Structure 1
Amino acid sequence: MRLSFVLVLFSISAAFSGSEAIRSLVFPSETSTSYVEMIATKPLKLTAFTLCMRVATELSGEREILLFAYRTNDFDELNVWRELDGRLSFYLSGDGVLFQVPDLGYLQTHLCFTWDSSSGAAAVFMNGRKSQTKIYRKGHTIRPGGRVILGQDPDSFLGEFDAKQSFVGEISDVTVWDSVLSDPAIQSLFNGRRVEKGNVFDWETVELIPFGEVEVMYVDLI
């Protein structure tokens, strides 16, 4: 309760000062206990999505890194990874789709992942630039009733985390829509301009529940 009160006061202060600041999550070390749960504003029954975030990490080529996890009782419904070889990927209840992109690093990178069930079209945007489109899981539906976790890979609905898959670094501006945003809209997001608010997760208002050693900070939006 005390943390929530402090966050509200900070938001009010920022609004009156005219600055625009957003929450940023810092995961300082490799653990199996530090993570953040995000509370969705609507059930995650999705036939399309755009998932965006800002990421910085010094784990360069050392191991795979989980960036976003949505799990129901029996399935990893939507997991986003930086693979060991540097590719970015996401998995929808099975084999994933992988994209060859420049490596993530200690300088902040803006990422967006898009997918549309009707066509199977999947893509990654890195700092506003779009990857090759790939066809993946055409006709699939992401199922509701799970938990969204940042920082860990849940091997069950309630946890079973592995420190060697944990995220170490900084994540912010995690926003999800239940549709595929246009290329210009995603480029605007990279440049710090606000477009339509995320209707599944909106980073400015989403409830975040931190566990372990996660530090919640405020940073100026790029």
Structure 2
Amino acid sequence: MGHSAFFFLMTISTVLAGSGVTIKTLVFPTETSTSYVEMVPMKPLNLAAFTLCMNVATELTGEREIILFAYRTADSDELNVWRELDGRLSFYLSGDGVLFRVPQLGALQTHLCVTWDSSSGAAALFMDGKRSLTKIYKKGHAIRPGGKVLLGQDPDSFLGGFDAKQSFVGEIGDVNMWDTVLSDGEIQDMFSGKTLTIGTVLDWDTAQLKINGAVEVVNREL
């Protein structure tokens, strides 16, 4: 390679290295019944399958439940993701949930994904690219449209009925959702940063976020 070509490549590398990539996260600093974020989806959540991923960190111990994601219609909780009282992670589709005994969430960021397919009932969970066992859950069920996606609170009614003792305290970011089950390799590549897969239902980079209460949007460079 000639000196000019080498200098050209070095210049590009320097520019790319210096440009940085800015990402946003949501910080929920205190336990509250008033702070939450509504995330506006790109299309209705009329789903027979999904993959939901997020980065999450919390210092709350296993002494209480923690809501990680809520999607509720006027009638029911269509999809809720929880850290249970005993530390298990779970999600619920309009009724009883499916629970996974996995390592505890903590102050270090965890890349968390849950997947579900109605045709088979196959449900699984990923933590930092590592896949859980498969459980069969709600075969033939469908998630209905017309609801609201909330981060930080569990609504017992449509945008209401919040309980501070179930609220999220910590940091959540990179919340993305697809209307298909992503492959194990795609989820592992997302965690490792090899690929950027844009959500088809919720896209963190472009989604409108409606902030309510004491929630801080923090931007940082990778």
| Offset of residue 81 of structure 1 | 0.1
Distance 2:17 2:102 in 1: 40
Moved over 4 A (4+): none
Gaps spanning 5+ residues in structure 1: where?
1-14
User: Is 2:107 the partner of 1:72?
Assistant: no
The alignment partner of 1:175 has SS state of: strand
**1:53-202 matched pairs, under 5 angstroms:** 53-202=54-203
The alignment partner of 1:218 has SS state of: strand
Mark the structure with the bigger radius of gyration: 2
Question: Corresponding residue for 1:215?
Answer: 216
Distance 1:42 1:65 in 2: 27
| Offset of residue 17 of structure 1 | 5.6
Would the aligned equivalents of 1:68 and 1:81 in 2 still touch at CA under 8 Å?
A: yes
Question: Corresponding residue for 2:10?
Answer: none
| Offset of residue 160 of structure 1 | 1.2
Would the aligned equivalents of 1:175 and 1:198 in 2 still touch at CA under 8 Å?
A: yes
Question: Corresponding residue for 1:205?
Answer: 206
Quick one: structure 1 residues 144 and 152, their matched pair in 2 at CA, closer, same or farther if it must change by over 3 Å? same
Question: Corresponding residue for 2:12?
Answer: none
Distance 1:131 1:28 in 2: 30
The alignment partner of 1:36 has SS state of: strand
Distance 2:66 2:211 in 1: 19
For residues 135-166 of structure 1, the C-alpha deviation after alignment (integer angstroms, 9 at most, x for no partner) is: 00000000000000000000001211000000
For residues 140-194 of structure 1, the C-alpha deviation after alignment (integer angstroms, 9 at most, x for no partner) is: 0000000000000000012110000000000000000000000010001111233
Question: Corresponding residue for 2:53?
Answer: 52
Would the aligned equivalents of 2:34 and 2:162 in 1 still touch at CA under 8 Å?
A: yes
The alignment partner of 1:209 has SS state of: strand
The alignment partner of 2:149 has SS state of: strand
Gaps spanning 5+ residues in structure 2: where?
1-15
The alignment partner of 2:74 has SS state of: coil
Distance 1:52 1:34 in 2: 22
Distance 1:36 1:81 in 2: 16
Distance 2:170 2:150 in 1: 15
Would the aligned equivalents of 1:185 and 1:195 in 2 still touch at CA under 8 Å?
A: no
The alignment partner of 1:186 has SS state of: helix
What count of residue pairs does the alignment treat as equivalent? Answer: 207
**1:29-48 matched pairs, under 5 angstroms:** 29-48=30-49
Report the RMSD for the aligned CA atoms in angstroms.
Answer: 1.3
Would the aligned equivalents of 1:71 and 1:157 in 2 still touch at CA under 8 Å?
A: yes
Which deviates the most, 55-64 or 165-174? 55-64
**1:16-31 matched pairs, under 5 angstroms:** 18-31=19-32
The alignment partner of 2:188 has SS state of: helix
Instruction: Report percent identity of matched pairs.
Output: 71
Would the aligned equivalents of 2:190 and 2:197 in 1 still touch at CA under 8 Å?
A: no
| Offset of residue 218 of structure 1 | 1.2
AA matched with 2:76: F
The alignment partner of 1:167 has SS state of: coil
| Offset of residue 16 of structure 1 | 11
